[in-house]
Amino acid sequence: MKNILIIAPNWIGDAVMTEPLISKLKEDHPHSSIDVVATPWVASVMRAIPAVNKVIAVDLKHGALQWAERKSLALQLQQNHYSHAYVLPNSFKSALIPWMANIPNRIGYRGELRWGLINQALSNPSRSHRPPMSLHYFALSNAQSTSVPQPQLSLSSEALVSIKQKLQSLKEHTKLFVICPGAEYGPAKQWPTEHYAKLAKKLAQEDPHHLVLILGSKKESPLGEQISTLSTHPHQVINWCGETTLDEAIACISVATAVVSNDSGLMHIAAAFSRPQIAIFGSSDPRHTPPLSSLAKVHWLHLECSPCFKRTCPLGHLKCLVDINPTDVLNSIHQSTR
């Protein structure tokens, strides 16, 4: 095995979960070169996996076949003479590129209409019996393991120095607390804005040299602005939602004193950097998608109606999140950063 191609998943959290597989492939084949095809928003995660040689960022739209674009990419990839391709999404479209690139060994799980496209297929477990995602991907390496591998990301020293300098120029600080208030799936996974603001205010009041940084996408910028305004400490609680690249957001998380987030992709990034973190769960289930880190503390009330896995609260009260007290979260931060 000389050259390996990975077709990455399309979600940030799932992308983090590929690290144990990729590192295992590199361990088993130390002289191999491992390249990854990824969407632009996932490419940042893949660049933080040391075993990856090159990330090929391709803006393939969700739900679109884009036959011409896939064929063009396949012709380019064919020049690299990959011996193996690992197709991590279950879709038909994700398996097209390695097949069109004539990669001889195409490994993945059985998915929609993929007969022939995947020629080394593993049975896809039912949703009710699916293992944690990192183990699910890790199994494609043929390694026999029942323990859940913990993903680990790392950045270059240059990237770390750069982000530390940028943060100090933003505000001189001794501790950096990162807040990630968004969740792609919907509001039933988002701790209330007022709770985040109260937590941010308490952190700012503890020490004038505390910096509370709010991270998220451009569409979460109004949410970040609300938190900053309600905290009444706008010079210490700073909204950077939409103001950073994902590479910069990842770098901020990697040097944080502690991270507070909902169940989201950024939660898994914090875990993969082994940062002290508080993960807040509402409609989802931490028994299925926990942050894989010994430094993570989960706040989940496990009410009778939770987990419901809905985008919005079907009962209209959102008690699974509203009843998680900011003071309790603050106490968990203190415990995790002692």
Q: What is the rounded average pLDDT of the residues 93-115?
A: 92
What percent of the chain stands above pLDDT 90? 84
Which pTM does this prediction carry?
Answer: 0.93
56 and 197 both lie in a single domain: no
Number of domains in the chain: 2
3-state class (DSSP) for residue 32: coil
128 and 241 both lie in a single domain: no
Q: What percent of the residues of the chain are helix, what percent strand, and what percent coil, each to the nearest 5?
A: 40, 15, 45
Q: What is the pLDDT of residue 146?
A: 79
How does DSSP assign 195-239, residue by residue?
A: HHHHHHHHHHHH-TTEEEEE---GGGHHHHHHHHHHHT-TTTEEE
| Residue 66 confidence class, pLDDT cut points 50, 70, 90 | confident
What does the CA dihedral 72, 74, 80, 82 come to, rounded to 10 degrees?
Answer: 180
146/225 Cα distance (integer angstroms): 44
62 and 203 both lie in a single domain: no
In the predicted structure, residue 61 carries a pLDDT above the cut 80: no
135 and 178 both lie in a single domain: no
48/50 Cα distance (integer angstroms): 6
306/315 Cα distance (integer angstroms): 11
Q: What length does the chain have?
A: 338
Q: What is the rounded average pLDDT of the residues 209-224?
A: 96
69 and 129 both lie in a single domain: yes
Beta carbons of 187 and 321 less than 8 angstroms apart: no
Q: What is the rounded average pLDDT of the residues 112-138?
A: 86
Final residue of a domain: which of 92, 107, 141?
Answer: 141
In the predicted structure, residue 30 carries a pLDDT above the cut 70: yes
179 and 70 both lie in a single domain: no
85 and 183 both lie in a single domain: no
* Domain containing residue 59: 3-141
Nearest to 236 by CA among 266, 213, 252: 213
53 and 111 both lie in a single domain: yes
Q: Work out the angle at residue 260's Cα, subtended by the Cα atoms of residues 259 and 265, and round it to the nearest 5 degrees.
A: 85
pLDDT tens, 252-294? Answer: 999 999 999 999 999 999 999 999 999 999 999 998 889 999 9
Q: What's 38's domain CATH number?
A: 3.40.50.2000
In the predicted structure, residue 128 carries a pLDDT above the cut 80: no
69/58 Cα distance (integer angstroms): 9
Q: What is the rounded average pLDDT of the residues 9-14?
A: 94
Amino acid of residue 204: A
Does any domain span residue 320? yes
Task: Provide the token pair at 56.
Answer: 């090929």
Does any domain span residue 90? yes
132 and 69 both lie in a single domain: yes
What percent of the chain stands above pLDDT 70? 99
163/254 Cα distance (integer angstroms): 10
43 and 93 both lie in a single domain: yes
pLDDT tens, 288-322? Answer: 889 999 999 999 999 999 999 999 999 999 999 99
Q: What is the pLDDT of residue 63?
A: 65
How does DSSP assign 61-109, residue by residue?
A: PTT---HHHHHHHHHHHHTT--SEEEE-S-SHHHHHHHHHTT-SEEEEE
Give the dihedral sign, CA 285/289/292/296. negative
Does any domain span residue 203? yes
Q: Work out the angle at residue 311's Cα, subtended by the Cα atoms of residues 307 and 314, and round it to the nearest 5 degrees.
A: 70
292 and 182 both lie in a single domain: yes
In the predicted structure, residue 1 carries a pLDDT above the cut 70: no
